[in-house]
Structure 1
Amino acid sequence: MEFGTSSYSFQKLLKAGDIGIEGVFDQIAGSGGTHMELATLTVGPGLEDMMDYDLSGDAETRKRLEAASRESGVTLSGMCIPASFIDEDRAARRAQIDRAKRYVDLCADMGVGFLRTDVVPWSMRPESYAQVEALFPVIVEGCAEVADHAAARGVVASIENHGFLMNGSERCRRLVQAVDSPHFRMTLDIGNFLCVDEDPFVAVNNCLGVASYMHVKDFLVRKHYPGPGWLETLGGRHIVGTVFGFGDVETRAIVRRILQSGYDGYVSLEFEGNEPTLMGCETGLKNVIRIFDEVRAELASEAA
């Protein structure tokens, strides 16, 4: 098992120009991490244009990433891209699928084994179950095409429980099973289930069998609106990110279940709290490593 951080955690500093991507690699190394997951929105032109940004055509940024990885000793473990496979415009949908396949090629060429693609816009909230059912075959078709290409290039593509429409443990497992390929799995985010009001411990337990990559994060959860900056869930609760180990997610119990499952892949911290970024990333990653080590020791003691 290897621990690291998503570049998404540093997006505020990157956007403000207070740190470069090289500094992100160095910060992760300094906090005890061994890998970085690249969220392409942190190196592209900005969130508004991320559906169109294509790192495969950005040779300068690729060279910077590869050089920073070599110099820091921090592996580039995976990539995350926004995408939508549901556009009614056939040409626009084809462009999104083809772009995802180019990222598969980019991962293969750069020695990166994992690619997470969204399949619907993150902010899209389902209008009804009927809408989800109508979209589901279209999503499966796009994911299957990406999975076939990933298989040919030795990459594992994945869906994440991300946003509101393609979230929830049953929905994500159903998609993975419908695509039915060892090269299409799940990036399992332990906190994002709260967006659709599902208990993270139960949901993580449901999905461990289809997980290829792990996101760890923490949230504060409130029943009533606390003020600006909090995200409203589908069920009307409110959540906001915080330092891993500081919030309301049952992080220790979830870590225990992850270890008991035999998962031994990449674990990537996503910090998206209001605390200072460097503090949130450094303290959070150290907490991740510490809690995994402590729980692993507890399990070994119990088995002795």
Structure 2
Amino acid sequence: MTADLSLGFSSYSFHARLSTGEMTLPQVIDWVAASEGEHLELASLGDDPESPIPNIASDPAYVDRIREHAAAAGVPLTSLALGADLSTGDPAQIERVMRHVDLAERLGITRMRHDVVGHAGVEGDDTPLFEQVLPHIVAASTQIAQYAATRGITTSLENHGFFVQAADRVRRIVHAVDEPNFRTTLDVGNFVCVDEDPAASVTQNLPYAMVVHLKDFYIRPADAAPGAGWFRSRGGKHLRGAVLGSGDLDLRAVARAILDSDYSGPLALEFEGWEDPLLACERGIAFARTLFT
């Protein structure tokens, strides 16, 4: 690894075990500490007091325990990621995200990703709808970023959820917000969900990146019939999460773009495939090392 990049994991990579109780978050932290990983991102699973990932409904004592356990294990908590819908201008949604800013501060985390729309896709040409909701997204994201700045936290949106998954829409929002601490969590794989070339889109958005997610997908043509467990891209291709390095993305071109850029910061492996997550994370991070060394 180059000195200005650090390689770790998103907690979502362990979702299959966390969601069933097979692993607790402290056990995941210990696993990361014993692995080749250097940090852990916490990806919230919702505002649920029983969730293993700290959220605004969690017992504050549990939040403190996770912060202390990570510190003792030598695993920095680099980012907090959460879902949100800021497209309606609902003050309650803005307040909810700002409460997560406070949560990030309590966890000792200085980077936070909040979504700006829900995940459901919009059929047909959604450009008029995007133009309609853009002012709400920008106003809410600006208010949140300004609040986060008082806590020393950088906020971001991700190329996530079809509606703002395209590289140009992410950049439009970042430029419109125009706050120094508002950037993007750049997922190198998610661009294929809207049929963009990851190498090209990653290059376009790297100047605005706060965190980079490393991900891989299997991709099959629209007229293929791969069976259950796949989802469709905007243009109809079949997609399924893969172990990093086993899928169809040109990750070497993506890595060259990152290495040729001015990006410095966390690289977080985000696995969402069918394979056992511990095996996938072990093999995925070993492959990632070959890309950046």
TM-score by length of 1: 0.89
Question: Paired residue for 2:133?
Answer: 135
C-alpha deviation, 1:70, in angstroms: 2.1
Q: Which whole-Å CA distance do the structure 2 matches of 1:226 and 1:280 have between them?
A: 21
Amino acid at match of 2:80: M
1:253-297 CA-partner distances (Å, limit 9, x unpaired): 11111011021101100001111111011111221123211xxxx
Question: Paired residue for 1:285?
Answer: 285
Question: Paired residue for 1:222?
Answer: 220
C-alpha deviation, 1:56, in angstroms: 6.3
Pick the aligned partner of 1:118 from 93, 115, 118: 115
Question: Paired residue for 2:67?
Answer: 66
Q: Which whole-Å CA distance do the structure 1 matches of 2:123 and 2:139 have between them?
A: 19
Moved more, 235-244 or 20-29: 20-29
Pick the aligned partner of 1:2 from 6, 9, 30: 6
Amino acid at match of 1:98: E
Conserved? CA contact 1:14–1:42, under 8 Å: no
Question: Paired residue for 1:160?
Answer: 158
Conserved? CA contact 1:56–1:106, under 8 Å: no
Q: Percent identity?
A: 40
Conserved? CA contact 1:225–1:237, under 8 Å: no
1:85-116 CA-partner distances (Å, limit 9, x unpaired): 123xx6xx211111111111222233211000
Q: Residues 145, 266 of structure 1: CA spacing in aligned structure 2 closer, same or farther, 3 A cutoff?
A: same
C-alpha deviation, 1:23, in angstroms: 1.2
Please give the root-mean-square deviation of Cα atoms over the aligned residues, in Å: 1.9
C-alpha deviation, 1:31, in angstroms: 1.9
Pick the aligned partner of 1:148 from 130, 146, 149: 146
Question: Paired residue for 2:254?
Answer: 254
C-alpha deviation, 1:26, in angstroms: 1.5
Dislocated runs of 4+, deviation >3 Å: 42-47
Q: Which whole-Å CA distance do the structure 1 matches of 2:146 and 2:161 have between them?
A: 25
Aligned positions, number: 285
- SS of the residue corresponding to residue 3 of structure 1 reads strand
C-alpha deviation, 1:44, in angstroms: 3.9
- SS of the residue corresponding to residue 41 of structure 1 reads coil
C-alpha deviation, 1:58, in angstroms: 2.6
Moved more, 273-282 or 100-109: 100-109
Pick the aligned partner of 1:21 from 21, 25, 31: 25
Amino acid at match of 2:40: M
Q: Which whole-Å CA distance do the structure 1 matches of 2:180 and 2:45 have between them?
A: 27
Q: Which whole-Å CA distance do the structure 2 matches of 1:46 and 1:231 have between them?
A: 29
Moved more, 263-272 or 56-65: 56-65
Pick the aligned partner of 1:101 from 98, 103, 114: 98
Q: Residues 10, 23 of structure 1: CA spacing in aligned structure 2 closer, same or farther, 3 A cutoff?
A: same
Conserved? CA contact 2:114–2:158, under 8 Å: yes
More helix by share: 1
Question: Paired residue for 2:45?
Answer: 41
Q: Which whole-Å CA distance do the structure 1 matches of 2:78 and 2:159 have between them?
A: 19
Conserved? CA contact 1:9–1:270, under 8 Å: yes
Amino acid at match of 1:37: E
TM-score by length of 2: 0.92
Conserved? CA contact 1:193–1:203, under 8 Å: yes
Q: Which whole-Å CA distance do the structure 2 matches of 1:145 and 1:29 have between them?
A: 36
Q: Which whole-Å CA distance do the structure 1 matches of 2:91 and 2:172 have between them?
A: 23
Question: Paired residue for 1:240?
Answer: 240
C-alpha deviation, 1:152, in angstroms: 1.6
Question: Paired residue for 1:298?
Answer: none
1:138-178 CA-partner distances (Å, limit 9, x unpaired): 11111111111112211100000001001111000110000
